Structure 1
Amino acid sequence: MKKFSVTIAGGGSTYTPGIVLLMLDNLDKFPVRQIKLYDNDEARQKIVADACEILIKERAPEIEFVATTDPETGFSDIDFVMAHIRVGKYEMRELDEKIPLKYGLVGQETCGPGGIAYGMRSIGGVIEMVDYMEKYSPNAWMLNYSNPAAIVAEATRRLRPNSKILNICDMPIGIEARMAKILGLSSRKEMNIRYYGLNHFGWWTDIRDQEGNDLMPQLIEHVQENGYDVGIHSDGSWQRTFQAAKDTQALDPKTLPNTYLKYYFFPNQEVEHSDPNYTRANMVIDGREKNVFSECNRIVEAGTSEGTTLKAGDHASYIIDLARAIAYNTHERMLLIVENKGAISNFDETAMVEVPCVVGANGPEPLTQGEIPRFQKGLMEQQVAVEKLVVEAWMEQSYQKLWQALTLSRTVPNAEVAKQVLDELIEANKAYWPELH
């Protein structure tokens, strides 16, 4: 049986140990001969890599492990790249959130001005990785879950149309896990779903069990009362996000919404609940980042992972599923971000839409979702225009197009505020964005 070689791009991420543990837990389903970590920040990656080396030695010593900042080493002799890069790290995420909040706008890493700023940083980094992969391992596939996925997907469509890259997001998967809990199912894989939208901007229209029974009425009833809250402990801001789904769902009571729609429908409420001096980035820096790095350091000092608090990233299990679908031609149904090409029949052919796909050795085959209602179509057309303008602004180094993108975002009230925010974001992102004219 073939064993695979995998590069985790963004090796210094706090999510990397969870992905390594996930692979180690699933070697029976997805055998691995080599795991490489690649990052351009050697010091940050070393903290994670030294701990991962111990984890691998203890659990699967036959797997070769490499950590590198050299592209040739990182991308040679591999079958898959699992990419989760964050250009500018959490320091820039903090600015993505805090600059918009100064103007009374949603401060969020993938939505509104913050998402646009992050997108302008991410495009170059993702394209660079695709190029490394194609140069050193031309038959490899990139499974990309770097954010903001919608802008990144549009950029790869425009700039590398023939590249073997699949863009995927874990948010719908997390919501479906909650749906399964509401329904008393043991796994979201017991549900067959129909869904359409853009990344962080979509709706479930039909959910059935394996026998074909309609599960929507039970889910809708729960969501109308509790949102996606299922009593699982999560921190305050996530708790609010899952509960807010009941307000979002009221706009189209026959469907179930992606949680991110709250930023577009109720931006004022979001701003009211935000602390402009202590945003989600600060929570992550003080929580997740500190915990993961200190645990990695503890493992290295002890020379063993015994008693570790690091866990396999369950939410990331879809990445293994996706790799297996390609490697073994499993034809599993998965929600991916793909070029529309008629999947939504009354929508822009070139839009990068999020729809269920059947995945095999040739990549994804989108499942047709038919026509969509005017409400969703109007919202999606506006949002696709924002995403396309951001990518064009990056390609053409166009100040004008980026100003238009911000003006068009539902989270920005007018062109004057859009310009003020843009000028401040340009200043903050000097080291990362192309120079705009």
Structure 2
Amino acid sequence: MKKFSVLIAGGGSTFTPGIVLMLLDHLNKFPIRKLKLYDNDEERQATIAGACEIILKERAPEIEFLATTNPEEAFTDVDFVMAHIRVGKYAMRELDEKIPLKHGVVGQETCGPGGIAYGMRSIGGVLELIDYMEKYSPDAWMLNYSNPAAIVAEATRRLRPNSKILNICDMPIGIEMRMAQILGLNDRKEMNVRYFGLNHFGWWTEIRDKDGNDLMPKLKEHVAKHGYNVPNSADNQHVDQSWNETFLKARDVYALDPNTLPNTYLKYYFFPDYVVEHSNPEYTRANEVMEGREKFVFGECRKIIENQSTEGSKLHIDEHAAYIVDLARAIAYNTHERMLLIVENKGSIINLDPTAMVEIPCIVGSNGPEPLSIGEIPQFQKGLMEQQVSVEKLVVEAWVTRSYQKLWQAITLSKTVPSAKVAKEILDDLIEANKDFWPELHKDDVVVSESF
């Protein structure tokens, strides 16, 4: 059986150890000959890489390991690039969240103005990775789960239309794991699902077991009372109190359309006033992550390096990441597995822009994804999706043309923002905060009313 060379781009991420452990746990299904980490922050990556090297020595010493900041070293001789970069790291995420909140607007890393700010930073970083891959390993595939996935996917569609990149998100997988628990199933793969939407912006329309029995009534009954909260959840990624509140709020999101089951992120668009009211502008999710996950992962990695052993380590597999192995296997072995991906619509949703990047089930084989037909979607979802697709397209247009006006329009159009005046105030603050990361925007095309 062929063995593969895998590069994790964003090697200094707190998610990297969990992905390495997951890859090692699936070597029987997806054998690896070489594992590399790449990051442009050498110091940060060194801690993660030092621990990963020891993990590999103990678990799979035959796998060649390399951690580097050199693109040629990193991207030469790879079959798969697993990309999860965060341009600006958590310091910029904190500003993405706190600047909108200062103006009474949702502060979230992928939704609203915060997501737009993050998108403006991510586009160049992801394009750079694609270009390195195509230069040094032109036959490789990139499995990209860098956020905000919707804006990144639109940018790659427009600016690298022929690249071998698959844009994915594990949030629906996390929710499906919870659904399986609600139903008393052992695994989400025991369900056949139909889903449509955009990234962090979608709905389940049908869930059946392998015998074709409808599982939606039982799920709806649970979600109407408890959202997606389940006792003793096996989900070890979304464990903080803020996630419990998000999973509970799904019951209110569900009430808007009881024919479907919603993605949790829709709460930011449907209940922005509630979200702002229940946010602490001094201590946001970024602070929670820096105080929690960040300290935990780096602390555990330092212990492994200090002890030169993983004995007693509390690092764990990120179960959601198993989805990435399934995707790599589908391409490597032409398995034709059914998977949820972010792909160009091209008529899968008949009554939506064919160039929209939609999140829908696809059949995945060695030639990439084949999107399944969704048909027509209801007016409610269509209206919401058209608005959000326009936001994403305007952000990419702003990045390409360096247009202040287009970015102002994008923020104004976001369902989380109450007015063009507030949008402009947030944009001006974001420009100042992101001056080291965003392209310089031109104001030649801007006319500001005196009533502002």
TM-score of Structure 1 vs Structure 2, range by shorter chain:
over 0.9
Residues 220-299 of structure 1 aligned to structure 2 (within 5 Å): 220-232=220-232, 234-299=239-304
Residues of 2 paired with 1:231 and 1:409: CA distance?
Answer: 35
Length, aligned pairs only: 437
Pairing 1:23-422 to 2, within 5 Å after superposition: 23-232=23-232, 234-422=239-427
SS in 2 for 1:250: helix
Q: Secondary structure at the match of 2:65?
A: strand
Displaced runs of 4+ in structure 1, greater than 3 A? none
1:306, distance to aligned residue in structure 2 (A): 1.2
Q: What is the deviation of 1:105?
A: 0.4
CA distance in 2, matches of 1:10, 1:251: 38
Q: Any idea what SS the aligned residue of 1:260 has?
A: helix
Q: How does 1:7-26 map to 2 (within 5 A)?
A: 7-26=7-26
1:369-402 deviation line (CA, Å, top 9, x unaligned): 1100000000000000000000000000000000
Helix, strand or coil at the partner of 2:67:
strand
Residue 360 of structure 2 aligns with an amino acid whose one-letter code is V
Q: Distance in 2 between matches of 1:86 and 1:15?
A: 11
Deviations, residues 409-437 of structure 1 (Å, cap 9, x unaligned)? 00000000000000000000000000000
- How many Å separate the matches in 2 of 1:385 and 1:239? 31
State the Cα deviation string for residues 57-89 of structure 1 (Å, max 9, x = none). 110000000000000000000000000000000
Distance 2:45 2:76 in 1: 19
- 1:122-173 CA-to-partner distances (Å, cap 9, x unmatched) read 0000000000000000000000000000000000000000000000001000
SS of equivalent residue, structure 2 residue 295: helix
Distance in 2 separating the partners of 1:274 and 1:391? 29
Cα shift at 1:315: 1.4
| TM-score, L = length of structure 1 | 1.00
Task: State the shift of 1:116 in Å.
Answer: 0.1
> CA deviation digits over 1:93-146, x for unaligned, max 9?
000000000001000000000000000000000000000000000000000000
2:264 counterpart SS class: coil
Deviation at 1:261, TM superposition (A): 0.2
CA–CA separation in structure 1 for the residues paired with 2:169 and 2:98: 24
Name the CA distance, whole Å, in 1 between partners of 2:57 and 2:347: 48
SS of corresponding position for 1:286: helix
Distance 1:238 1:18 in 2: 19
Identity %: 76
Deviates most, 312-321 or 378-387: 312-321
Q: CA deviation at 1:313?
A: 1.1
Unaligned runs of 5+ in 2: 234-238, 443-452
Q: Which amino acid aligns with 1:318?
A: Y
- Measured in 2, the distance between the counterparts of 1:206 and 1:100 equals 36
Query: Aligned partners of 1:235 and 1:23: how far apart in 2?
Result: 25
Separation of aligned partners in 2, 1:221 and 1:287: 33
Matched AA of 1:110? T
d(CA) in 2 for partners of 1:186, 1:144? 28
CA-based RMSD of the aligned residues comes to 0.6
How far apart, CA to CA, are the structure 2 residues paired with 1:383 and 1:301?
48
Q: Within 2, Cα distance between the matches of 1:371 and 1:230?
A: 33
117-126 vs 307-316, which moves further: 307-316
Shift of 1:232: 3.4
**TM-score normalized by the length of structure 2:** 0.96
Distance 1:112 1:364 in 2: 29
Q: SS of the counterpart of 2:438? A: coil
